Structure 1
């Protein structure tokens, strides 16, 4: 079952967000979640509500993702929710603002006439997401995607020998 947890005991997390923006952000965060994991906590999406927006993150000890979106944050805080379950719900919400609030170990997702309640996952057990250093270069997204697509077909899908499932990436300064 899905889940969410308060970072601060006794505090309620509350925010409202555009349905399409939220659904797209959840889909992005969930894309990299492992299909099977020995650590169920890694199937979660971390939602940090603060200021005028949300940060949605996922991390499986190999790859992390992070996306920021605007939201009307009434009560700031951090929650951890089952990514796949949240994505399933977000994709089926009616076209109306999404209101999310937590109380105790539950999170309520309300949108128009639809209401869902999810159970919690403990934020304190979630691994620290690595900090990304300074940007060292820029590559146009289309060119990067095209280059990866050309070589990724040769990578093995057999994870018995992980080294042959990768694609080598070399970064050089232009001469």
Structure 2
């Protein structure tokens, strides 16, 4: 029953809705409605059919327990399911504030990379949203890396202070489907059990993840005496090339010295690779090693021309942040903390 898609036609609008007791989604689109009504059909089958159709008007007609879908010369007959057995979708909570959809989508894409994919640790599969007045902070971690992104929004209640833990998968879907439609409304229920998103005729609700999220903010170091800055796109490509010889669980080593960064991977009789890039270094020379996948994901999350690495000591976590020019200050609205792989001499 929950595999069904609820289609309702009334007042010149067709709404499509789905619900699995955890996440609900509803989309409204204009339509020419000759007869109002509601039907329930297989969501997966209807989605497959819709993807195969040309870009042309679609007619939907019902005949008893059957529904006919016609598009140009294509015609499909589908069985319907009992509408009365379908659960009622949860109501969207009252709007808590509005955020720019594109900015929210970018922020989500930058933090979900660090969320855990291990369902045995459900709390870490979520993204923590901390709301303080006109600022939202998104936080995620899988224990090997952390991501923090701050962005502004327009709260309905000035001075609001709250938090929510949302599944990273849910936030990712919201960003993809609702993020590009202008302003995005965020609604938090008073009992802190439900969050809702609405934009451009689309709405999604989701139950929040239950549990206490670890206090990961304190893991970002207060003082980092060593800073290295590299052109982002150049480093992304260099890491991609060098990583080709990095077998499973084999790190990529980065050696920062005055004016340059040397990358290498592979050891002994195995395949090896190395590359040297231009870099600006403030502080002592430093050599670190990282999981190449975690490093690449972090670097690809930056849209800035340069990325800055901030270090305390080689065995301690490094913090990546955005920088607009080689000698300027970094922007701290997005920070990606990465645990290093300990080298033999460290």
Question: TM-score of the superposition, structure 2-length normalised?
Answer: 0.42
Q: What secondary structure is seen at the aligned counterpart in 2 of 1:128?
A: coil
Q: Where does residue 148 of structure 1 map in the other structure? A: 239
Contact 2:228–2:256 (8 Å) recurs in 1? no
Of 188, 206, 211, 1:102 maps to 188
Decide whether the 8 Å contact of 1:14 with 1:76 is kept in 2: no
> In 2, are the aligned partners of 1:56 and 1:66 still within 8 Å (CA)?
yes
What residue is the counterpart of 1:115 in the other structure? 203
Aligned to 1:39: 121
Whose helix fraction is larger, Structure 1's or Structure 2's?
1
1:173 to partner: Cα distance: 4.9
**CA shift digits 1:23-70 (9 cap, x unpaired):** 111111112333334201111011111232211111011011111112
Aligned match of 1:83: 168
Aligned equivalents of 2:120, 2:233: Cα separation in 1: 35
Contact kept, 8 Å, 1:96 with 1:112, in 2: the verdict is yes
Q: 1:79 to 1:109 in 2, by over 3 A?
A: same
Q: Does residue 128 of structure 1 match 2:215? A: yes
- The 1:154–1:114 alpha-carbon spacing in structure 2 relative to 1, beyond 3 Å, is same
Give the alignment's TM-score, normalised by structure 1.
0.78
Q: Contact between 2:95 and 2:185, CA under 8 Å: does it hold in 1?
A: no
Q: What SS class does the counterpart of residue 229 from structure 2 fall into? A: coil
- The answer as to whether partners of 1:46 and 1:78 remain within 8 angstroms in 2 is yes
RMSD, matched Cα? 2.4
Structure number with greater CO (CA < 8 Å, separation at least 6) is: 1
In structure 2, stretches of 5+ residues that fail to align are 1-21, 24-93, 260-284, 286-346
Aligned residues: 159
1:8 corresponds to which residue?
none
What do the CA deviations read for 1:71-101 (whole angstroms, capped 9, x no partner)? 1133231111001111112211161311112
Q: What secondary structure sits across from 2:245 in the alignment?
A: coil
Aligned to 2:96: 14
Task: Return closer, same or farther for 1:50/1:110 CA change in 2, 3 Å cut-off.
Answer: same
- C-alpha distance in structure 2 between counterparts of 1:119 and 1:44, whole Å: 11
The answer on 1:30 being equivalent to 2:112 is: yes
| Structure with greater strand percent | 2
Q: Which has the larger radius of gyration?
A: 2
In structure 1, stretches of 5+ residues that fail to align are 3-11
